[in-house]
Amino acid sequence: MRITGGSARGRKLTSPRASEIRPTSDRVREALFNIIGPRIVGSRVLDLFAGTGAIGIEGLSRGAASVLFVDQSPAVGRLIEANLRACIIRPSAAFVALNLATNPHPQPLQAAAAVAGRFDLVIMDPPYQKNMARPVLAMVERADILAENSLIVVEEHRGAALPESVASLALTDHRRYGETGLWFYAPTQPHVTHE
């Protein structure tokens, strides 16, 4: 598993041998960032179910301003930190240990966004076919952490039945790559800053 583009292109990522982590394939990751295109440059990224950190590290390699990695355990955080050190010089990145399967609560993300700023890009890769995408999409929407013109991407099994909308988030695109599907959501209502 390697970074597919940007300053760290070709750098190898470590993945645990015996684990429930299912890293996004290089092919799907490259396709995703080709779709996202130049909007990654300077963006603040939220990588949910971060696993090895491949998605967020790919974003940093391609010019993202910062990444917040979220996954369920400090051990995953240490793996992401090792992969960051191997790929990115002085990354602007942080890790939050949060089990989104048992605690899809917006408060930790709200606290992180208060420090890092609102997120331009949210990418989530929940375990396939566990029906976790909808509640986590709803949590992201409720958390009020999205920047104007933000994009939310869900990676799931291609046969998953994801909704056309979740509250103010609307499905704008859907792509398939082998057994993997990518669903793209965007807010239908612009963010209003309250002073």
pLDDT at position 195, please? 39
pLDDT at 193: 47
pLDDT per residue, tens digit, the chain (195 aa), is 888 888 888 888 888 765 566 677 889 999 999 999 999 999 999 999 999 999 999 999 999 999 999 998 899 999 999 999 999 988 899 998 888 888 777 888 888 888 878 999 999 999 888 999 999 999 999 998 999 899 999 999 999 999 999 999 999 999 999 999 999 999 987 554 443
Annotate the chain with three-state secondary structure. Answer: CECCCCCCCCCECCCCCCCCCCCCCHHHHHHHHHHHHHHHCCCEEEEECCCCCHHHHHHHHCCCCEEEEEECCHHHHHHHHHHHHHHCCCCCEEEEECCCCCCCCCHHHHHHHHHHCCEEEEEECCCCCCCCHHHHHHHHHHHCCEEEEEEEEEEEECCCCCCCEECCEEEEEEEEECCEEEEEEEECCCCCCCC
